[in-house]
């Protein structure tokens, strides 16, 4: 299962970016994952749950956008999404197709919580009357 090393790499990159922003924690990691990768989405999600323990992303959500495969003929310029299986030969002219999308594995963005945001949230909780605190318990994310 190579998804564990992929999840660890994703977390390493996200933590590096979060530390550069002096973040207290990572709230969300948005990932683009192409259909034409050898990565199994469910296995990656499982690996992420394990790998995030003890990191800045311990409570983070992993949001995965699936990128469909799109191919184009290098000769006749016909672009299409393969319907059955993945055939990389053009059905019009018989020449090889090139993959335009579907091979992505990209961190699109991360959402972090900085120390300053956390302190503001904690202070705002002290200012609210008791009855209103339960309605405002969730911390804002950046």
142 annotated as belonging to a binding site for a ligand: no
Those residues with Cβ within 8 angstroms of residue 54's Cβ, 6 or more apart along the chain or in another chain: none
H-helix segments, the chain? 3-20, 41-51, 115-127, 130-133
Q: What is the distance between the alpha carbons of residues 133 and 142, in angstroms, rounded to a whole number?
A: 21
Q: Is the dihedral angle over the CA atoms 12, 18, 20, 24 positive or is it negative?
A: negative
Q: What is the distance between the alpha carbons of residues 18 and 114, in angstroms, rounded to a whole number?
A: 9
93 annotated as belonging to a binding site for a ligand: yes
CB 112 within 8 A of CB 18: yes
Would you give the DSSP letter of residue 62?
E
104 annotated as belonging to a binding site for a ligand: no
Chain centroid to Cα 21, Å, comes to: 18
87 annotated as belonging to a binding site for a ligand: no
Binding-site positions for Zn(2+) read: 73, 76, 90, 93
Binding-site positions for Ni(2+) read: 2
Binding-site positions read: 2, 73, 76, 90, 93
């Amino acid at each position: 299962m190579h998804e564990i090393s992929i999840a660890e790499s994703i977390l390493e990159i996200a933590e590096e970016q979060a530390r550069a922003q002096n973040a207290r924690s990572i709230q969300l990691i948005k990932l683009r994952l192409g259909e034409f990768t050898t990565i199994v989405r469910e296995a990656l999600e499982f690996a992420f749950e394990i790998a995030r323990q003890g990191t800045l992303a311990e409570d983070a959500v992993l949001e995965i956008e699936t990128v469909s495969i799109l191919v184009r003929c290098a000769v006749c310029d016909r672009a299409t999404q393969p319907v059955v299986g993945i055939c990389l030969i053009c059905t019009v002219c018989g020449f090889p197709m090139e993959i335009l999308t579907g091979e992505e594995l990209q961190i699109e963005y991360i959402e972090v919580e900085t120390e300053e945001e956390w302190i503001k949230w904690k202070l705002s909780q002290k200012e609210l009357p008791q009855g209103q605190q339960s309605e405002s318990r969730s911390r804002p994310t950046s």
